[in-house]
Amino acid sequence: MDIPYVDAPRADTGLTNGKLGIWLFLASEVMLFGALFATYIILRTGSIDWPLGRDILNVPMATLNTIVLISSSVTMVMAWASLMRKDLGKFRLFMGLTVMFGFGFLIIKYFEYSAKLHHGLLPSTNNFLAIYFTLTGLHAIHVIGGMAVNAYLWGPGAKLWKTRPEWFTNRVEYAGLFWHFVDLVWIFLFPILYLL
Amino acid sequence: MADSHAQDIDKHVRTYIIVFVSLMALTLVTVAVAFIEMPVWMAIAVALFIASVKGSLVACYFMHLISEKKLILVTLIFTVFFFVGLLLLPVFTHMDAIEL
């Protein structure tokens, strides 16, 4: 049986089911991260002595990671635009770059984490590090999840382009929405954890 | 028809590049501002303001919210309402402190 409304919008919603689905999922993700942001606020306002993020964390590395993630958002949207121009080659190039930027982000994060652990700065050290590892760890899991989907669409998933190009373009758009959301979360995590 | 469609995408791509440059510039501004001496509340306000501008650029242009269907915008208004409520919960707990 064919999945309905994958390439044409439903008459009542004006949307494909996938588009509405991904936005509802992102709404639930906002609440997931929202709960942890609220936790951060309650920990910080309830503490007598809250450390300044930049005294403990590596700001240049995090700035570089912000640049990497923003770049990956641009290559992601360019991958989608390439499909809109019916250019699968360009799509492959931009999607490949997006996955590589994702890897770059994780490698930088790995160096950051290992330096902290090496200096004995663990989640159990204090509340600041506990919420830092929780928020950035959850975010890194999202990066890995997004990369898995993007890599699938770059590789075996791209077969769909031959038979149902509109459906494939929509899939790339939904994966992009998730990827941009991951970027958006980092845009807030960066100043909150590293700079303030 | 196909030509006008291709032109539309070209216009989109130009917008993406402008947004990309703006996001890069705002990232550097965020870091620079953080090293200026100012009261904590002001530093928080400035950092969150810049982050909100950057977040809006991503949501409006990369996520196409600026031209999105009403149903999604309505869903997001509900999300924002509950998100703000969630962030205000710690404030409410302070209002309800037990007097000892």
Domains of chain A in sequence order = 17-195 (1.20.120.80)
pLDDT of res. A155: 97
Cα angle vertex B57, ends A6, A194, to 5°?
Answer: 115
Mean pLDDT of A76-82: 97
Q: Assign A51 to helix, strand or coil.
A: coil
CA dist., res. A86 & res. B6, Å (int): 10
pLDDT band of residue A196 (cuts 50, 70, 90) is confident
Chain A residues with CB under 8 Å of B51 CB are 187-188, 190-192
ipTM for the assembly: 0.92
Handedness of CA B76, B80, B65, A169 (dihedral sign): negative
CA dist., res. A146 & res. A140, Å (int): 10
The minimum CA-CA distance between A45 and chain B, rounded to whole Å, is: 9
pLDDT surpasses 70 at A137: yes
Q: What is the value of pTM for the model shown?
A: 0.94
CA dist., res. B29 & res. B44, Å (int): 14
pLDDT of res. B3: 56
Yes or no, beta carbons of B27 and A188 under 8 Å apart: no
pLDDT of res. B92: 81
- The secondary structure of A112-125 as a DSSP string is HHHHHHHTT--TTT
Chain A residues with CB under 8 Å of B63 CB are 176-177, 180-181
Yes or no, beta carbons of A191 and B30 under 8 Å apart: yes
Kindly provide the b/e burial profile for residues B35-70, where b requires at least 16 CB atoms within 10 angstroms of the residue's own CB. eeeeeeeebbebbeebbeebbebbbebbbbbeebee
Mean pLDDT of A28-49: 94
pLDDT of res. B1: 42
Q: Which residues of chain B have pLDDT under 70?
A: 1-4, 97, 99-100
| Per-residue pLDDT tens digits for A98-114 | 999 999 999 999 999 99
Yes or no, beta carbons of A15 and B69 under 8 Å apart: yes
| Per-residue pLDDT tens digits for A169-195 | 999 999 999 999 999 999 999 999 999
Question: Could you tell me which chain A residue has the CA closest to the CA of B31?
Answer: A195
pLDDT of res. B100: 64
Lowest mean pLDDT among A9-23, A86-100, B1-15: B1-15
Yes or no, beta carbons of B59 and A13 under 8 Å apart: no
Q: Mutating which of A24, A52, A77 best tests the B interface, going by the most B Cβ atoms within 10 A?
A: A77
Amino acid at position B31, single letter = V
Chain A residues with CB under 8 Å of B20 CB are 70-71, 74
